[in-house]
Structure 1
Amino acid sequence: MGGLDGRIRTYFGSDEHPSSSWMQLHPVDQRWISRIALAGGDDPGVLSYDALRKLGGDDRRRRLRALEDWYKAWPYVRTKQVQAVEDHLAQLPEPQPDEDDDLLDVPVITGPPGTGKTTLMKRAAVRALCTAAWDRRLRGTAETACDELVRPDWRPVIFHSTDGNPHVKTFFSHLCDELSVPATKDPQVAFQKAALRHGVQYVFIDEVQMINFDGQYGMYLHNALKALQNMNLRVVLAGHNVRHLLVDRKTVAQNATQTQSIARWAFQDLERYGHETKADITEWRALLRGLETHVRLAGHEPGEPVFSDQFEEHLWVSTLGYVNAVAALVTGACLAATRTPGQRITSEIIDAIRLNERVARGRISRLEGWRAGRFRWSTNALTPA
């Protein structure tokens, strides 16, 4: 195992020699994996309010900063809906860029904003990197040495977040940047050559809703994505409500492109967590149980079901089941509780944490109705008086 951190080793699965596989990766990819897997830093442990007050100003600030980093990096909780998407990605055939494989369907992780798509996408990319490194190690040193004559900087996975509405040249220029290669006058050709040279197998593209697929650039970009597939690269997309981007187009050519995409895009949905059925509540509590393992407050015992039991309804009514909102709420509540003598989460602390406008709108009336027994889980509304 060597000195490889356990949080990184997790992504290598059942790899018997993860440290050796880790050494197959380019330093750029090692740093990227470390930023994701080790986000939050080391466990800061529990320090009571009185002990915190006795610290000097610099030490207290360092302690509070460590707690902020720790809480902002909430653990990645594999609830059933997350596992379903991960299982789909894991069951896809491995990309073989050097072989003449059949064209592969494009997985598209989609759903409303705030449902954890980017978090899942990044961890899928990390897992793909670690699996590729494992496979490379298994091929043996002789083949790897020969391979390095052609691919001096092996970079099997690219993760790119779309910025604005790019046209094809901009898009491929950004992909070239990910590999630190010049884009030249024709960035698409430059990237295709670089992808073969550096052994690219996966291209993860986040925030695809930023692309105007109804416009001319969008049509060209559709074709560009298909060109990547034709190279037998595994393309994985993620974005808000992507199905709604594929509506009828203005021209015959655009409609033809849309038809090809719909035939090749395999949608995987992430939704906000429900709270109407028994299955909904079980799933919601599983998410909260994962989050409460991260609590470092002197007022709560280790493993205490503070979120999944004491405040699970309260948190749902406050956030409407959006995972990004609950992470923000729990983070704020834990940091606020740290500065109180009892260091315990309370209803008053939870209600004082500000949230994004989507869930903040109507939050006070929802909570009042819930406390009065007039909240309808099926409609997120109040029962008429």
Structure 2
Amino acid sequence: MMHPYDPRVRDFFGADERAHQSWAHLHKADQAWIRRIVLAGGDDPGVLSYPELQELTPDESRRRLRRLEDWYKAWPYVRTAQVKEVERHLATLPEPRPQVDDELLDVPLITGPPGTGKTRLLRRAAVRALCHAAWDRRLELEDSPAAADLLVDPDWRPVIYHSTDGNPIVKTFFTHLCHEIGVPAGVDPQDSFRSAVLRHGVQTIFIDEVQMINFDGQYGMYLHNAIKALQNMNVRVILAGHNVREMLVRRKTSAQNATQTQSIARWAFQDLERYPHQTKPQIDEWRRLLRALEGHLRLAGHEPNEPVFSAQFEEHLWVSTLGYMNALAALITGVCLTASRTKSQRVTAEIIDAVRLNERVARGRTKRLHSWRAGHINWASDASGAA
């Protein structure tokens, strides 16, 4: 059975000295969700030498390829300076305390262009919130065993992670929140969820993909009213979505402007942008980020700790991805999977160029690479004229 002795899980409990006991307080559904997020890559497949690879049977080769696919599709979390800043902000927020009267707090909203790593950051923040809530619950029960009687239902669910699907009205929004913790929505989903907050100890709700919600007029007002209703239940709300700031600025009608005014007044924007490659500190950090990814390589053609990405291909990778973290993860995953199928088991420029990427970075990619190889890239302008 999985427990926080796995260092990848244990890290999310911070300084908790008895993380395994805190882990036991989490609902099985939350434990499974944490495992799915944190342990997505499975076990380390290790590096095999050329002779060892040649000795594999077809079945063994197929099994290894599948393990490599799992491993490479779950790259280590890339923590840029921007990501660290957002993490620090979330870590300093007051701890939510259901059933205790609190002042309404600003709602953090992580925003920025697609591909900058918002969803992965939000999911990991939700995992950390779950683990810290479990730590607090263990301490509460140890300090006051009678506190257990305050919870009517033993299915304690302190954190909800919800990804918005389409453009919900308030009723469907609260119906989805009820379903996230297995509560019947009933005729009045908002009232049902209000009861569930107390019964199941809901403390924090993470809502992703909020750009899917129509911010025009009444829909935007409905969203604000729903979030305010959650805050009135003493639940902390944390949002994430693509280019939300720009969506609000483009509002034109009086109703839309009212939505914008309310948003700016109550939402604390946390912006993530694609990673720049202009100044020496930026280039140094880009290399450091690539260096961290090199520890995940499992190719026989490269020596342990060889600076493959950070030295041999650091400019190549930036020109190819324009600093979008999701594009970088997709590119390196594709590169390693392709290289693992070659005889040399080495990363090459040809393999990097052959991996397909999303349209945002694919547009103008060939032209950018040609200019870079010709020495015509203007780094000061971000080399991103086609982005």
- TM-score in terms of structure 2 length: 0.94
* In structure 2, distance between residues paired with 1:164 and 1:182: 21
* In structure 2, distance between residues paired with 1:372 and 1:382: 16
Letter in 2 for 1:315: L
Kindly tell me: are residues 253 and 375 of structure 1, through their superposed partners in 2, closer, same or farther at Cα, counting changes over 3 Å?
closer
* In structure 1, distance between residues paired with 2:137 and 2:110: 27
Q: Which consecutive residues of structure 1, in runs of 5 or more, have no partner in the other structure?
A: none
* In structure 1, distance between residues paired with 2:287 and 2:384: 23
Shift of 1:257: 4.0
| Residue in structure 2 matching 1:146, options 149, 153, 167 | 149
Kindly tell me: are residues 189 and 247 of structure 1, through their superposed partners in 2, closer, same or farther at Cα, counting changes over 3 Å?
farther
Kindly tell me: are residues 248 and 67 of structure 1, through their superposed partners in 2, closer, same or farther at Cα, counting changes over 3 Å?
closer
- TM-score in terms of structure 1 length: 0.95
1:27 aligns to what?
Answer: 28
State the Cα RMSD in Å: 1.9
Q: Which consecutive residues of structure 2, in runs of 5 or more, have no partner in the other structure?
A: none
* In structure 1, distance between residues paired with 2:255 and 2:191: 23
1:14 pairs with 2:25:
no
**Secondary structure of the residue that 2:381 maps to in structure 1?**
coil
1:226 aligns to what?
Answer: 228
Shift of 1:255: 3.7
2:45 aligns to what?
Answer: 44
Does the 8 Å CA contact 2:209/2:241 hold for their aligned counterparts?
A: yes
Does the 8 Å CA contact 1:273/1:283 hold for their aligned counterparts?
A: no
Kindly tell me: are residues 250 and 276 of structure 1, through their superposed partners in 2, closer, same or farther at Cα, counting changes over 3 Å?
closer
2:284 aligns to what?
Answer: 282
Does the 8 Å CA contact 2:4/2:23 hold for their aligned counterparts?
A: no
**Secondary structure of the residue that 1:378 maps to in structure 2?**
helix
Does the 8 Å CA contact 1:369/1:382 hold for their aligned counterparts?
A: no
What are the Cα deviations for residues 177-226 of structure 1, in whole angstroms up to 9, with x where unaligned?
A: 00101111111111111111100000000000000011422321211111
Count matched residues.
Answer: 382
Matching of residues 79-228 of structure 1 within 5 Å: 79-141=80-142, 142-148=145-151, 150-228=152-230
* In structure 1, distance between residues paired with 2:192 and 2:384: 58
Range moving further from structure 2, 85-94 or 282-291: 282-291
Does the 8 Å CA contact 2:220/2:259 hold for their aligned counterparts?
A: no
Letter in 1 for 2:178: C
- Return structure 1 stretches of 4+ with deviation > 6 angstroms: none
**Secondary structure of the residue that 2:76 maps to in structure 1?**
coil
1:336 pairs with 2:313:
no
Letter in 2 for 1:355: L
Does the 8 Å CA contact 1:337/1:343 hold for their aligned counterparts?
A: yes
What are the Cα deviations for residues 113-148 of structure 1, in whole angstroms up to 9, with x where unaligned?
A: 000000000000000000000001011241453234
Shift of 1:339: 1.5
* In structure 1, distance between residues paired with 2:268 and 2:261: 13
Does the 8 Å CA contact 2:159/2:204 hold for their aligned counterparts?
A: yes
* In structure 2, distance between residues paired with 1:232 and 1:112: 31
2:61 aligns to what?
Answer: 60
1:292 aligns to what?
Answer: 294
Does the 8 Å CA contact 1:205/1:237 hold for their aligned counterparts?
A: yes
Shift of 1:33: 0.4
**Secondary structure of the residue that 1:375 maps to in structure 2?**
coil
Does the 8 Å CA contact 2:13/2:132 hold for their aligned counterparts?
A: yes
Letter in 2 for 1:364: T
* In structure 1, distance between residues paired with 2:303 and 2:147: 50
| Residue in structure 1 matching 2:361, options 354, 359, 381 | 359
* In structure 1, distance between residues paired with 2:374 and 2:171: 57
**Secondary structure of the residue that 2:380 maps to in structure 1?**
coil
* In structure 2, distance between residues paired with 1:357 and 1:13: 39
Q: Percent identity?
A: 72
Letter in 1 for 2:336: C
What are the Cα deviations for residues 273-297 of structure 1, in whole angstroms up to 9, with x where unaligned?
A: 1111112112211221121111111
